[in-house]
Amino acid sequence: MLKKFFIFLAVLLAVALILCWIYLPSVTRYRELRSEEERLKQKIREIDQQIKVLADERNLLQTDVAYLEKVIREELGFVKPGEIIYELVTKTDAFGPTEVSLGTSVTSDSAKTSVTTSATSKKTSLSPAAAVASVANTTPKIPKKKSASS
């Protein structure tokens, strides 16, 4: 009787090992595919969100004139006639902080448009408040307009 029990236990163990050998790779592959599916669903949600944002922006560009003007000014750099634009660019190099300021002024008459650009570079360590103060103390160079009677 004990011998039959050990034979039955050995057969049961062999069947269990065969089932594990067959089904374990399938279960592992199933889990991998489920995690891949979740990752792809998350990516789809992100892309759908981007599509929604871009569709909203397209709608604004087609219908809202103020938003269109803002985009044209910021991304394309257009200015209205007579406007003066100043840009301050700071840059650091390997030797320490370097301030590079680039001033651009644009003036426009009905007959001509002139653009003046000046760049200065000096090695200093300015705080943001000092940089703002130095820019505030500068005055723009505006060319004199010719009078209509001349």
Q: Which two tokens stand for residue 146?
A: 């010719």
Give the per-residue pLDDT at 49. 97
Q: Is 61 left (phi over 0), alpha (psi -120 to 50) or beta?
A: alpha
Find, among 124, 118, 123, the residue nearest to 88 by Cα.
Answer: 118
Query: Is residue 91 within a helix (H) or strand (E), and if so which, with residue range?
Result: strand 91-93
Q: Which two tokens stand for residue 124?
A: 């200093």
To the question of pTM greater than 0.85 for the whole model, the response is: no
CA distance 67 to 85: 20
Give the per-residue pLDDT at 48. 97
Confidence of residue 32 (pLDDT cuts 50, 70, 90): very high
pLDDT in tens, 48-92: 999 999 999 999 999 999 998 888 888 888 888 888 878 788 877
